Amino acid sequence: MAKREPQLLSGLTDTVGGVVGSLVNDVRGLLGSIAEGILNPDDKRPEPGYEFQAPGAGDSRGPCPGLNLLANYGYLPRDGYVNYGQILEATARGFNMGTDLATVLAVFSILADGDIATESFYLGAGPGNVGGLNRHSTAEADISPHREDYYTGCGDNHHVSSRLVKQGVDIIKAGSGKYDMSAMAQQYAKNADFSKKYNPFLYAFPFPQIVSLGAFAFYPQFFSNGTYGAGGVPNYESVSAIVGWQLNEKTGHFEYVPERWPENWYRRSFPYGAVEALTDAFLQIYPANIVVPGASQLLTPNFNVTNILCDVFQGIRSITPLGLAGDEKDAGEAADWALSKLSPVLGVGALGCSLDTLSPDYDGDSILFPSASQTGGPINSPSAQASNAGNNVYNKVYFTAAPTKPACNHAYSS
Ligand code: HEM
């Protein structure tokens, strides 16, 4: 490398003592593996007529790389406002996700983050930064593969984190060179350790926990070029392009770029469904670092009664729909009632569950919890978190260092 690019290497060595240079070498060393085995030409993606187009400023994108990518090619509406039928069709066509798995994910996201009457939701933030998949502690959860926790990220739970990508690169370099199940279990274990240590509001309730654990298994199962376990490879090219990161060889940081398929990419050739996802999540990923649902702080320095009650509060909220209409009105009112009773006590009352853990909830018309509109109201997020709740902004670097305290004042570089 010194021979080929003497200027680059000497510049890097001068500034950061060769650290960047060795990262550049690591990443280059991981490039080059290709899909093996028998590939069905019908599985090549994208299909004709589905062109990549980077999302524009008004397009909603959030924590799910799979859905973001599908919208970038027009398999889903490019504006990121999607409905149930579109999700089922696009996830099967683009990635061969089983209908049962897509149904579970879509139904819960509509219930918790979207609109039941129109069976729709936004991929990132909804209007006014309310709802959408960015909404924390619903489907979106802490301990994600390459996103920070809502609390430590100061509301930014949806951009790719440079330091987590770096951590993952170190793991695969020491292992098979691939994002296989073992590498993802190690990434999960490290992320879970970090969250237990630094996030007193670490949130793991059954449904979101399943989504986030499943997401680790999705790397090999969906992002491999070809079929995982049958010649397909979860290589750096596939994963970095699909999840959307790019090494800046000058700074040594990973930029978050729009999600796209690499050249010559084949989806898995048979569906991966709910049973397989749960089996992988609970047999291959979760054992690497147990996080007790509903009481994530157990066995950590952050364990105390207040935090456990706050877990319960977040849990009830996570199964509370964002907005309800028609026949569900009674259920909505019941949920409102429960939250209105709990919030003053657990949210801002004597127990003081931190508001720093809650996404904004109120959209002006929603019947969910009208009192949330009051300044500092029961579930009204503090402004620092709320200002980070918007849609993904690409071509920037996020989180060059580990946020051991809520990273509310961190500067993003372009
Ligand atoms: C069927 C509808 C889907 C819904 C509603 C959905 C929703 C979500 C949500 C809410 C998250 C955030 C989880 C967290 O905070 O850890 C997420 C993350 C993720 N999703 Fe999806 N998803 C869907 C389909 C897919 C598909 C088809 C793929 C892959 C092909 C996929 C791959 C992932 C991955 C890898 C992550 C973790 C990203 C990271 O932090 O590195 N999802 N998804």
What pLDDT, in 10s, does the model give residues 239-272? 999 999 999 999 999 999 999 999 989 999 999 9
State residue 254 phi and psi, 5-degree precision.
-100, 120
The upper half-sphere exposure of residue 228, i.e. CA atoms within 13 Å in the direction of its Cβ, equals 22
The whole-number pLDDT of residue 362 equals 45
Better-predicted residue by pLDDT, 289 or 181: 181
d(CA 169, ligand 1 centre) in Å: 20
Range ranked top by mean pLDDT from 295-299, 347-351, 361-365? 295-299
Residues with CB under 6 A from ligand 1: 63-67, 87, 91, 95, 97, 102, 105-106, 109, 133, 139-141, 144-147, 211-212, 215, 218-219, 222, 243
Reported confidence tier of residue 315, pLDDT bands at 50, 70, 90? low
pLDDT at residue 162 greater than cutoff 90: yes
The model's pLDDT over 19-35, given as tens digits with 9 standing for 90+, comes to 788 899 989 888 876 66
The whole-number pLDDT of residue 37 equals 66
The whole-number pLDDT of residue 287 equals 80
Considering only 50-54, 104-108, 241-245, which range has the smallest mean pLDDT?
Answer: 104-108
Tell me the C-alpha to C-alpha distance, in Å, between residue 28 and each of 15, 111, 159: 20, 43, 24
Q: Which atom of ligand 1 is nearest to the CA of 70?
A: 27
Cα 244 versus chain centre, distance: 12
pLDDT at residue 164 greater than cutoff 50: yes
Does a structural domain hold residue 269?
Answer: no
pLDDT at residue 275 greater than cutoff 60: yes
The whole-number pLDDT of residue 339 equals 58
Tokens of 265: 């990419």
Q: Which of 43, 60, 61, 67 to mutate to test the pocket of ligand 1 (most atoms within 8 A of CB)?
A: 67
Distance CA 403, CA 359 (A): 18
Would you tell me the crossing angle of helices 181-198 and 162-174 to the nearest 10 degrees?
140
The whole-number pLDDT of residue 300 equals 74
d(CA 365, ligand 1 centre) in Å: 28
Name beta bridge partners: 397.
255, 413
d(CA 64, ligand 1 centre) in Å: 4
The whole-number pLDDT of residue 363 equals 46
Does a structural domain hold residue 43?
Answer: no
d(CA 342, ligand 1 centre) in Å: 30
Based on the structure, what is the number of domains in the chain?
1
Nearest to 151 by CA among 343, 344, 355, 370: 355
Question: Torsion angle of alpha carbons 18, 180, 140, 296, nearest 10°?
Answer: -90
The model's pLDDT over 351-364, given as tens digits with 9 standing for 90+, comes to 556 666 666 654 44
Q: Which amino acid is at 34?
A: I
Distance CA 312, CA 309 (A): 5
Tell me the C-alpha to C-alpha distance, in Å, between residue 365 and each of 96, 124, 339, 369, 412: 37, 19, 18, 10, 33
Does a structural domain hold residue 31?
Answer: no
d(CA 146, ligand 1 centre) in Å: 11
Q: Assign 3-state DSSP to the chain and report helix, strand, coil percentages, each to 5.
A: 45, 5, 50
Nearest to 68 by CA among 234, 241, 217, 191: 241
Does a structural domain hold residue 373?
Answer: yes
d(CA 206, ligand 1 centre) in Å: 16
pLDDT at residue 412 greater than cutoff 50: yes
Domain that holds residue 351: 305-386
Q: Which atom of ligand 1 is nearest to the CA of 144?
A: 16
Cα 381 versus chain centre, distance: 20
Considering only 194-203, 305-314, 371-380, which range has the smallest mean pLDDT?
Answer: 371-380
Better-predicted residue by pLDDT, 234 or 37: 234
CB 80 within 8 A of CB 122: yes
Q: Which atom of ligand 1 is nearest to the CA of 97?
A: 27
The whole-number pLDDT of residue 321 equals 53
Does a structural domain hold residue 336?
Answer: yes
Detail the DSSP E strand segments found in 177-311. 245-247, 254-256, 265-266
CB 143 within 8 A of CB 291: yes
Does a structural domain hold residue 282?
Answer: no
Reported confidence tier of residue 111, pLDDT bands at 50, 70, 90? confident
> Which residue puts its alpha carbon closest to atom 28 of ligand 1?
66
Distance CA 7, CA 249 (A): 12
Q: Long-range contacts for 179-182 (Cβ within 8 Å, ≥24 apart)? A: 179/219, 179/220, 179/223, 179/234, 179/235, 179/236, 179/239, 180/220, 180/234, 181/217, 181/220, 181/280, 181/284, 181/285
Does a structural domain hold residue 179?
Answer: no
Does a structural domain hold residue 367?
Answer: yes
The whole-number pLDDT of residue 309 equals 64
